[in-house]
Amino acid sequence: MLDLFAKKEAPIQGMMGLGGGVPSRLLTLASGEITYVDDVFSTFLWEGDGGYNLSPAAATVTVDNGIDLSGEGGLVWLKNRDDSYKHWLFDTERGGQYALSSNASSAQQDGAATNRDLTFNSTGFVIGEDDSGGGLNRRGEDHASWTFRKCRGFFDVVTYTSQSGVTAINHNLGSVPGCIMVKKLNGSASWQVYHRSSGAGKEFELDGTDRERTNGAFPSTPTSTQFFINAANNNVFGTVGDQFVAYLFAHNDGSFGEDSDEAVIKCDSYTGTQSEDTEINVGFEPQWILIKNASSNSTDWVVVDTMRGLPVGSDSEVLKANSSGTPSSYRAAALTPTGFKLGQGVTSVNRSGDTYIYMAIRRPHKPPEAGTEVFKPFSLSAGEGQDTFISTGFDVDTFIYAKKGNGLFIFGDRLRGKKGGGDLRSDNNSVEDTNTGSFFLDQSRGAKVDYSGGHNYSAPAATDESYVRYFLRRAPGFFDVVTYSGSNSAQNISHNLGSKPALIICKRRNSTGNWQVYADVPAGGATKYMMLDDTGIFNTNSNRWNNTEPTATQFTVGTYSDLNTSGGTYIAYLFGNLDGICKIGQYTGTGNDITIDCGFNPRFIMIKQCTGQGDGWYVIDSARGINAGNDPWLRFNQAYQEITNTDIVDPTSGGFIVQAGGGSRVNDADGRKYLYWAIA
């Protein structure tokens, strides 16, 4: 640990050679501060509100992504997703009025006169109106931004002046760079890219489609304090006095996360196989990936991210760093808990025998501090009657939705596609309905309900168009989502919950199959199961979970077809016991009031009888009312209208009281056991 402490204490002093800008302020382990990928990187999607011959009057947009750019410094990379406009790159070393394009060799542009500029602040940035036709913040059109904060072990920005011969350029990355992108500022010249997998003497052009080239632009392997350019061997570096910017990306620096031992960025390579089952093990689940074919010309720099979709089994939205074009759609990559699987036979990502370089950034991994950061319930007496954006304050990974009039619960997930991947009904064993999708999950800090699918009607109350909606974000200790394929042999399934799951809910997607439930409670465990679409109690069957308790990194499935058969595709929802946010437990019915201590005031409660005769999965939430009187409830296992005339639970400041009158539903006097699940 001493090396880690030394690495993060302060900028390296007294370095020789060239270098520009003020070093980023560094976090120190010694002072107890911890850095997560959430602190240094963000993908943020928004709908533009700017101008260029659009009305009403143009406006700026504030992107609050939680990244401190004004204090720490960094890079913002922007792209219009709806039209063929350039990529725009702004950084704090050059100032927010100066823009570069990754798909163009042209000099930087001064956007002060056209409002194509950025203002950096402590929680993100503000985008100008862009009244010059650059496509930046165009009203009514979708945009993507990727923000890289300066931080040792992750990213650095350096500006410098070219000199003759081999020149050493100082940097503050604090580790050996995995990738370096260099651009001339005061004239036209192609972007020069170094990647550690190709090594010294090799380079790529970010604005081009050529394969790896040998030209001596980067004559020596960079170090943790310097990188090297050779003006004599490359005409883009050849004029003394020219101005340049360099973006430096780290590789596998293990100084992030809860124990300051996790890497958040990896720059590596792989060999294409043409097979869609080929998995690239990154060591973590990525949220952003850049891929370039190093062997073949006429191939693009592929940019994909989880916010725009890296779904399992369907197409990704692909932007190209070297092109101003609109997104393509094909199977570029699909996420796994430890990396990504490749698209089948696509030359840009998986041509048999070709070598590919990539850069991957870890998914968010900061533990939540409050339930409002990861869960939000909504209740509507009637829909809005149109596609409507619902603000949650966090990026939505999973939604659970029901009409109160028929109690039909539907599950959808970002991991299965930006429209939720197809509806899964919790009240029966039906196959995933890929022809529908209740919500669009390709915007930041919320979701857009899909009116055309019949999920947001504003019809009169007599038609029962009232709704309950739950939105969840994956976060360590609280919630994770995993997709996997069956093998018909017992297998361990990796996950990123980071703690032993207290509740696992699994469903087969591509065929009928009952919802299978594991719970880490005395009546449950690895030899027991219940079914979410059924009223049954815990039954004994060691084959479901292979008689193996889950761990903080994996759970195990046997050979039961609803959990693991050859050709089957599955999804698993994992919840943990996280202090102040989520509690899964068990109590014994007494027929008298029972106080459940959760350590928080729940906004969601699910109760299921798990021994005795069996009853439904009762669902209550604060949006509809967790009251001292009657509590509106629905059941996961039954498509039936909401019941509002029963008092099941009463709220307390630290949990809830199961009412004496709850009967067999939640509190029978004969000693039956009940499973409960509460979220703050």
Q: Is 229 exposed, middle or buried (0-12, 13-18, 19+ CB in 10 A)?
A: buried
Look at residues 465, 461, 567, 560 and name the one whose alpha carbon lies nearest to residue 510.
Answer: 567
Q: What is the DSSP string of 236-300?
A: GG-STT-EEEEEEE--S---BTTTT-B--EEEEEEE--S-TT-EEE-SS-EEEEEEEESS-SS--
Q: Phi/psi class of residue 663: alpha, beta or left (left: φ > 0; alpha: ψ in -120 to 50)?
A: left
- Return the pLDDT at 405: 84
pLDDT (tens digit, 9 = 90+) per residue, 13-66? Answer: 222 334 333 333 233 333 458 999 999 999 999 988 755 444 444 568 899 999
Count of CB atoms situated within 10 Å of the CB of 271: 13
CA pair distance 169, 189, nearest whole angstrom: 19
CA pair distance 479, 364, nearest whole angstrom: 12
Quick check: 582 and 501 in contact, CB under 8 A? Answer: no
Q: Which residues contact 80 (CB under 8 A, 6 or more apart)?
A: 48, 135, 136, 138, 141, 142, 143
Helix (H), strand (E) at residue 2: helix 2-7
Q: Is 588 exposed, middle or buried (0-12, 13-18, 19+ CB in 10 A)?
A: middle
- Return the pLDDT at 50: 59
CA pair distance 210, 204, nearest whole angstrom: 7
CA pair distance 595, 623, nearest whole angstrom: 22
Quick check: 43 and 144 in contact, CB under 8 A? Answer: yes
- Residue entry with tokens 């533990």: 367
CA pair distance 175, 250, nearest whole angstrom: 7
Secondary structure of residue 666 in the 3-state scheme: helix
Sign, CA torsion 152/153/156/160: positive
Count of CB atoms situated within 10 Å of the CB of 650: 16
Quick check: 570 and 493 in contact, CB under 8 A? Answer: no
Q: Virtual CA dihedral for 344, 349, 355, 361, nearest 10 degrees?
A: -120
Residue 138 corresponds to which tokens in the numbers above?
A: 């165009």
Sign, CA torsion 400/402/408/410: negative
Quick check: 330 and 316 in contact, CB under 8 A? Answer: yes
User: What single DSSP character describes residue 231?
Assistant: G
- Return the pLDDT at 235: 65
CA pair distance 233, 79, nearest whole angstrom: 33
Residue 432 corresponds to which tokens in the numbers above?
A: 């995933």
Quick check: 432 and 424 in contact, CB under 8 A? Answer: yes
Look at residues 341, 316, 311 and name the one whose alpha carbon lies nearest to residue 328.
Answer: 316
Q: Phi/psi class of residue 652: alpha, beta or left (left: φ > 0; alpha: ψ in -120 to 50)?
A: beta
- Return the pLDDT at 13: 27
- Return the pLDDT at 662: 74
What values do phi and psi take at 478, rounded to 5? -105, -60
Give the chain's residues under pLDDT 70: 1-32, 50-59, 131-132, 233-235, 383-386, 452-464
Quick check: 127 and 63 in contact, CB under 8 A? Answer: yes
- Return the pLDDT at 15: 29
CA pair distance 257, 284, nearest whole angstrom: 12
Quick check: 673 and 523 in contact, CB under 8 A? Answer: yes
Quick check: 82 and 144 in contact, CB under 8 A? Answer: no
Beta strands in 3-83 (DSSP E): 41-47, 61-64, 74-80
Q: What is the DSSP string of 448-505?
A: EE-GGGTSS----GGGT--EEEEEE--BTTTEEEEEEE--SS-EEEE---SS--SEEE
Quick check: 364 and 373 in contact, CB under 8 A? Answer: no
- Return the pLDDT at 453: 60
